[in-house]
Amino acid sequence: MIILDEIQNAPKALESLKYFCEEVPEYHIIAAGSLLGVAIHEGVSYPVGKVDLLDLYPLNFREFLYAMGEKKLADELKTKDYSIMSDCWGH
């Protein structure tokens, strides 16, 4: 797996994605960039049909706990009963 972060700063890297797909399909490429949509502009070849887009957004702590499988703790945090945390610290 190859991760290319802030790819919008290197338009040629974006163009190269189609060659990875065609010539080395065993590599999995992740390209990330906060301004990636702005980077896809005239003059830059976009690898149409070779890219799956996924919009990601930040998680709050409770959402993170759910994603990590900590449903019970996340649900308890919703109650704002912080006495449950004393069990974790042995108080």
Of the CA atoms within 13 Å of residue 17, those in its CB half-sphere come to 24
Average pLDDT over residues 66-75: 89
Q: pLDDT of 4-45, one tens digit each?
A: 888 877 878 877 887 887 888 898 888 887 665 555 555 666
Domain segments of the chain: what residues?
1-56, 58-91
Tell the residue number behind the tokens 């790819």, with chain if given.
Answer: 7
3-class DSSP state for residue 65? helix
Prediction pTM value = 0.48
Region of residue 84 (left: phi > 0; alpha: psi -120 to 50; beta: else):
alpha
Region of residue 6 (left: phi > 0; alpha: psi -120 to 50; beta: else):
left
